[in-house]
Amino acid sequence: MRDAFEARPGRAVVRRLAVLVCLTLLTATMPFGAAAQDSADEAREERQRVRDEKAEAARNLDAARADDAAVATALRDISDIVTAKQGEVDEASRQLELNRETAVAAEDAIVASDVELLRLEDDLAGRAVAGFLNSDRAAATFFNSSDLTQALRQSSLLEEANADTGDLLEELRVVREDREVAEALAQDAVAEAEILEVELAEKLLTWEAEKVVQEELKEEMARRVADWEGEVAAFEAEDAKLTELIRSEEAKKNPPVVTSAPAPGTPSVSGFQWPVNARVSSGFGYRVHPIFGTKRLHKGLDLGAGSGTAITAAKGGTVLSAGWQGGYGNTVVISHGDGISSLYAHQSEIAVSAGQEVSRGDVIGYVGSTGWSTGPHLHFEIRVNGSAVDPLPYMP
């Protein structure tokens, strides 16, 4: 027991030396550490400023009137901000819980110190009484001893008892210091927890506000996607009707012919020419909506001619239909025989009528943006037995 008590002062010295070493190292590295902290704070402030600007833009966006790209950008930005805020809320909650645990542990340490202090004080009080009662007896024992050796031995035993009392006093001092440290730690933890509670409440408010904006933008985007998918479905239904119309008219005009599209790169098989002199802005095949990510089959070529540009027949034949075709807008379909037909959609004005015979190069209408179109262009298709195929292998 005495060895344990004597270790107490040594441990206190080591603890103080460790604190001094830490302070020395902290002072030595302060310039670098301060600079790094300043840089980190600046980066954090800049990141927060950008987030605030994006959040403000998302909140102020008139989603009902904004275009798809603006709504998608705002939704992406506010979703990133909500995720970041969620992280801040989680971290603040974690820190608050840690502080509460620290406060509880410190309170437990205070209680344990109080119990230990009571024990030590009782022990000291008992030794003090015993020492007072035995003081006269000790002197008498020394002088009444039969020889000097026995007297010295008994005196040494008394001195050792007094030394134990000194160790007990040192232990009492250390326990009191530990209690003061625990009390200060508990007070700091409670104060810090109160601050963290306020910060957490503020973060929750902003997080919930941003979530409201996020949900509104999600609903708007979902509505737009649904509208788009509805338009695609309607367009596909109209296309199916147009396919049946072409097949029906072709059947009336000629017996059914089984014809397949030529392989890509095959020279023009039937003397087709380009209906307008313009670049291909969108080819045949599946297209992914740039905002919604949904796919649909683009069944022809979009030729980027300006509004009012004359459209000519790509090859001679008979006009099967000339008129409004739903999402295709003003549309002309020409039969070229052998089950092959060509289609010219989104015209501003049609210049031919059904049943009319036309030659290659004859004007059949003018470029426009009618039907389901985002701007003036010619949508040009070639169909085999009513089904759309890639027009490029047919073109020169």
pLDDT tens for 80-113 read 999 999 999 999 999 999 999 999 998 998 998 8
Question: Which one-letter amino acid corresponds to residue 344?
Answer: Y
Task: Burial-class residue 265 by CB neighbours within 10 Å (0-12, 13-18, 19+).
Answer: exposed
CB-count exposure of residue 330 (10 Å: 0-12, 13-18, 19+): buried
For strand 330-335 and strand 317-324, is the pairing parallel, antiparallel, or unpaired?
Answer: antiparallel
- Do 364 and 269 sit in the same domain of this protein? yes
pLDDT given for residue 9 in this prediction: 38
C-alpha distances (whole Å) from 261 to each of 258, 266, 335, 338 are 10, 10, 15, 12
Same domain? For 222 and 151 the reply is: yes
CB atoms within 10 A of CB 247: 17
| Whole-Å CA distances, 49 to 45, 56, 58, 116 | 6, 11, 14, 54
| Residue range of the domain that includes 294 | 257-394
Is residue 240 domain-resident?
no
Give the per-residue pLDDT at 329: 95
Burial label, 217 (beta-carbon count in 10 A; 0-12, 13-18, 19+): buried
Q: Which of 1-15, 108-122, 204-218 is most confident?
A: 204-218
Asked if the model's pLDDT at residue 12 lies above 50, the reply is no
Q: Find the mean pLDDT for residues 259-269.
A: 49
Q: Is residue 246 part of a domain?
A: no
Q: Is residue 250 part of a domain?
A: no
Residues 196, 49: one domain?
yes
Structure tokens belonging to residue 2: 């005495």
Q: How high is the pLDDT of residue 167?
A: 81
Element (H, E) at 197: helix 148-253
9-18, 55-64, 103-112, 238-247: least confidently modelled range: 9-18
The beta-carbon contacts of 157-166 under 8 Å, at least 24 apart in sequence, are 158/134, 161/127, 161/131, 162/131, 163/2, 164/1, 164/2, 164/5, 165/124, 165/127, 165/131
Q: What's 376's domain CATH number?
A: 2.70.70.10
Domain boundary among 189, 212, 227: 227
Give yes or no: residues 164 and 272 share one domain: no
Please write the tens of the pLDDT for every residue from 126-157: 777 766 665 555 555 545 555 555 554 554 54
Collapsing DSSP to helix, strand or coil, 59 comes out as: helix
- Rounded to 10 deg, the angle between the 68-143 and 30-60 helix axes is 140
Beta carbons of 215 and 357 less than 8 angstroms apart: no
Does some domain include residue 265? yes
pTM: 0.61
- Please state which of the ranges 12-26, 91-105, 206-220, 313-327 shows the lowest mean pLDDT: 12-26
394: CB partners within 8 A, 6+ apart: 261, 262, 268, 269, 270, 272, 382
- d(CA 162, CA 203) in angstroms, rounded, equals 61
Give me the number of domains the chain comprises: 2
